[in-house]
Amino acid sequence: MTNRSVIIDTDPGLDDAIAVLFVFGSERFNVLGLATVAGNIGIERTTANAASLATLMGRGDVAIARGANAPLVRNAIDEVAIHGNDGLGGVTLAPGQNPVTAPAHLWMAEQLRAAPAGSIDILALGPLTNLALLIQHDPEAARRIGRVIAMGGAIVEKGNVGPRSEFNFAVDPEAAEMVFGFGFDLTLIPLDVTRKVRADEGYVASFNGTLHGDVAAKLLEAYFLDGRQSRPLHDPCVMLYALEPEIFGIEELTIALDLTDDPGALVVSNAGVPLKVAMTVDVQKTLDLLHSGFVS
């Protein structure tokens, strides 16, 4: 897929920031806007970070839409311990433009109603609260979405919040359940594949020759776990799947969500809904494709 119109629903966040920079650098997407959500860190910081990323890339034409500041019904959790108080591991970016006036879910509805049905995809990198609010407030607009590609969940892998729950869905499992059941053309990119995609020192050193490549290298260094290898590159996998889905092995699984014992955990169950789930990945091809977005 090339030059597809997309809205990036994001909570930057180190790996979110790398994913957003890749999208801009690859020039293979028509980015309509960045819708922000509280997740890795609070909404003020995720919105400021999204704006800074767009400004870095000279993309003042891309709308910044401030989204949900809390889950639908639960208390917020965050990943400040991983991403830092600024969400970017101490990597400093210049301030960006102000967000649009409308909240993200209403701004998304405006874009969807103004475009041909099915022509806009949502690349969801954080909790699914904005999409749930869109469904609640304007289901007809939500039905005009082409595809939703969402990073989240775990099938065989253990969780990173609870025993089996992954952060994005654990933050707002009620929102995820609503999105799962709405009938979107929805593909999940879970920990089962994202944990396999990591950067090492040599890979990071090869990001040179572009401004955003230099920034991405700093973000990756801040995301290193032990000085030798990064944490999993969760969110970039969404963008890579959007461009070259054949890199990933997709299975259709019937998925339900645990809302009580381990909130956000995915359960393969006849009581669930059929979803496309990435279960395998060609790691070298993902890293090569990601690299292509950061070099001149």
Question: Which sequence positions are flagged as catalytic?
Answer: 234
CB 91 within 8 A of CB 133: no
Q: What is the spatial distance between Cα 144 and Cα 65, in angstroms, rounded to a whole number?
A: 19
d(CA 130, CA 223): 26
Helix, strand, or coil here: 250? strand
Give the distance, in angstroms, between the CA of residue 68 and the centroid of all CA atoms in the same chain. Answer: 15
CA 19/CA 13 separation, integer angstroms: 10
Report CA dihedral (34, 36, 237, 41) to the nearest 10 degrees: 150
Residue 121's Cβ-count burial label (10 Å; 0-12, 13-18, 19+) is buried
